[in-house]
Structure 1
Amino acid sequence: MKILREHVTLGENELFVVHLFQGEEIDLSYPFHQHKAAFELTFTLGLTGTRMIGDQTKPFSGEDVVLIAPGIPHCWQDHGIANPPEAKIVVIQFLERLYSGPLGATSALKKVSRGLEHSRRGLELKGKNKQEALALLSEADFQDPFENFIFLTRILELFGSTRDTEQLCSQGYVPLIDKNRSTRLETVLNYIQKHYTRKLMVAEVAELLHMSPSAFSHYFKKHTLKSFAHYIMEMRLGKAAQLLHHSDIPIGDVCMESGFQNVSHFNRSFRRTYGTTPLKFRKLSNHFDPS
């Protein structure tokens, strides 16, 4: 499968652009695609359908606020349902360097930087933070570029909060390096990232930290909130989803390249996580494929 790469068009000396769509102007038939160099903040209001972000496919309705980093394939689909006149979509696309450099390293933009980092797996705003974002949106008229920048920055601050956000893609689909993690944990996760496609035992990884297998298992779950086995499984399934999206190799090869040794076990595990078989998952992706 070839995922469409959309080029984000910006004016001269511009680092972000705002797109507004309402009622009949809304077209959710755009295929599964990604942006090479731009983040995308999307508000969908008064719509019902399905959104596909990386390896997560999820229904949406009412009010949806999502931040997506460069490189994550995504699309929204309304399945041909007529959009009500009051339905609205606001999309802000911006380049990473808008908040990079000395400015991005300041304490004033600490939450913004954290939100951008967490959006590497796609990030949904929830709870009180979402309601605050919607309140800010209701006051915005998007007429003044400086006010647009202030609006965007305030929304990104909400994404950088430690509460009311949810990462969307699995750890295996978009592996992340968290700058705030301890060196010991980073050593372990980097090792797993390099070796998870082969048989990997707790004792082998525990040796990296000079721990017993039982002590390491407790340490790992405390810091990742997942058991070692669950984490490995998530990495393998995320890799499989990525291969199903980005290649046409046979399902058996996807199984082996993801670290599974048995196709039946792979199919059962995949279905348990994604609610469908690997073959149907690929067909769903191909439904949004422009080629």
Structure 2
Amino acid sequence: MKLMFEKILPSENSSWRYWLYKLDNIEFNWHYHPEYEIALTLNSQGQRYVGDNIENYHELDMAFLGPHLPHTWSSSPAVIGKPQKVFVAQIPVRWLENLMLSMPDLADFKSLLELSRRGIKFSEDTVKKSAKIFAKMQQANASQRFIGLLEIFQLMLDDKDKQVLSSNGYNVSVTSDASTDKLDKVIRYIHENYTGKLPAAKVASLIHMSTNHFHRFFKQRTEQTFTEVVNQLRISKACSLLINSQRPIATISDTCGFNNIANFNRRFLQFKGMRPKEFRQIYAGKPV
């Protein structure tokens, strides 16, 4: 699974692109594009990948991403009858930066653009307010959407609890540094091979590291252990199979790479707060 380039086309009669996706789940799609992006997710939970940062995200998540910054979300399946929503604003670099330069009124936003090169996440209060503005854009004309976009920028700027995502040394250029390339290779390999055994020693050998060095490297770049990230992905895939198939739980455990049913049940309880059988019954609308 390569790092993919995404071509962005502006919305009709607009200088930037607004879109609302409604999905059963968000597939892992490691990609980048030259535009700035605001992405706000509702009714969704899973993992957010931005540069060299990997985090769990939950209801009410929003990130602001700078140009060429690799990213993706990967979610568990939606609650039946309640699709996951992703509001997206994708803004051409030249248009946005020229706007900031030509209007002294917007000079304060420059610091936000600089931070976005590493990705930024925002507080729940900012996400709630931004979600209301994004929702209104569905029925708005181009000028109303532009005003709404500026309002969201102001909310992001004023958020005192916003947090930068990627590490300070992360290189966001298209020709990324060696460490970034290695992390990208590991992430792709995990998503391509999570159904089988994933010994850390083998993954470490792919990027020419000792096992101990690899564990330190992965933890430093993602703030999670290799095992934690693998288990999160496997549980997310297991959730999809529990909802969308009638396969026995033991079969799902094997399919998602767990070595035994006891380990699967233990990890599922750790990440979901319930056992796989209970999860399936809840999503099927049956009493537990």
For Structure 1 versus Structure 2, the TM-score category normalised by the shorter chain is 0.5 to 0.7
**Structure-1 separation of matches of 2:100 and 2:26:** 38
Question: Which residue of the other structure, out of 239, 264, 270, is the alignment partner of 2:217?
Answer: 270
**Structure-2 separation of matches of 1:269 and 1:63:** 31
Partner in structure 1 of residue 54 of structure 2: 57
**Structure-2 separation of matches of 1:122 and 1:56:** 9
**Structure-2 separation of matches of 1:142 and 1:97:** 27
Q: 3-state DSSP class of the match of 1:100?
A: helix
Q: Shift in Å at residue 11 of structure 1?
A: 5.3
Q: CA contact under 8 A between 1:99 and 1:113: conserved in structure 2?
A: no
Question: Which residue of the other structure, out of 150, 154, 164, is the alignment partner of 1:153?
Answer: 150
Partner in structure 2 of residue 10 of structure 1: 10
Partner in structure 1 of residue 262 of structure 2: none
Q: 3-state DSSP class of the match of 1:121?
A: coil
- Greater relative contact order (CA < 8 Å, ≥ 6 in sequence): 1
Partner in structure 2 of residue 233 of structure 1: none
User: Which residue type is aligned with residue 6 of structure 1?
Assistant: E
Q: CA contact under 8 A between 1:67 and 1:122: conserved in structure 2?
A: yes
Q: Shift in Å at residue 53 of structure 1?
A: 1.6
Partner in structure 2 of residue 115 of structure 1: 112
Q: 3-state DSSP class of the match of 2:44?
A: strand
**Structure-2 separation of matches of 1:255 and 1:171:** 24
Q: CA contact under 8 A between 2:60 and 2:128: conserved in structure 1?
A: no
Gaps of 5+ in 1: 177-193, 198-235, 257-262
**Structure-2 separation of matches of 1:86 and 1:12:** 26
Q: Shift in Å at residue 90 of structure 1?
A: 1.0
The answer to whether 1:77 aligns with 2:64 is no
Partner in structure 2 of residue 164 of structure 1: 161
Q: 3-state DSSP class of the match of 1:172?
A: coil
Q: Shift in Å at residue 271 of structure 1?
A: 5.0
Q: CA contact under 8 A between 1:53 and 1:73: conserved in structure 2?
A: yes
The answer to whether 1:88 aligns with 2:85 is yes
Q: 3-state DSSP class of the match of 1:62?
A: coil
**Structure-2 separation of matches of 1:253 and 1:120:** 28
Query: What pairs up with 1:206-245 in 2 under 5 angstroms?
Result: 241=183, 244=186
1:20-59 deviations in Å (ceiling 9; x for gaps): 13xxx31544443333321111111122222222222222
Partner in structure 2 of residue 223 of structure 1: none
1:80/1:102 CA distance change after superposition, 3 Å: closer
**Structure-2 separation of matches of 1:142 and 1:116:** 28
Q: CA contact under 8 A between 1:45 and 1:89: conserved in structure 2?
A: yes
* TM-score, normalised by the number of residues in structure 2: 0.61
Pairwise CA RMSD? 3.8
Gaps of 5+ in 2: 190-202, 238-288
User: Which residue type is aligned with residue 115 of structure 2?
Assistant: H
User: Which residue type is aligned with residue 57 of structure 1?
Assistant: I
Q: CA contact under 8 A between 1:69 and 1:120: conserved in structure 2?
A: yes
**Structure-2 separation of matches of 1:94 and 1:74:** 16
Q: CA contact under 8 A between 2:68 and 2:172: conserved in structure 1?
A: no
User: Which residue type is aligned with residue 58 of structure 2?
Assistant: S
Q: 3-state DSSP class of the match of 2:214?
A: helix
Partner in structure 2 of residue 130 of structure 1: 127
Q: CA contact under 8 A between 2:26 and 2:74: conserved in structure 1?
A: yes
* TM-score, normalised by the number of residues in structure 1: 0.60
1:107/1:127 CA distance change after superposition, 3 Å: farther
Partner in structure 2 of residue 259 of structure 1: none
Number of equivalences? 218
User: Which residue type is aligned with residue 217 of structure 2?
Assistant: F
Q: Shift in Å at residue 83 of structure 1?
A: 5.5
**Structure-2 separation of matches of 1:11 and 1:70:** 19
1:215-267 deviations in Å (ceiling 9; x for gaps): xxxxxxxxxxxxxxxxxxxxx7x6753564589xx8458467xxxxxx35523
User: Which residue type is aligned with residue 160 of structure 2?
Assistant: R
**Structure-1 separation of matches of 2:89 and 2:186:** 29
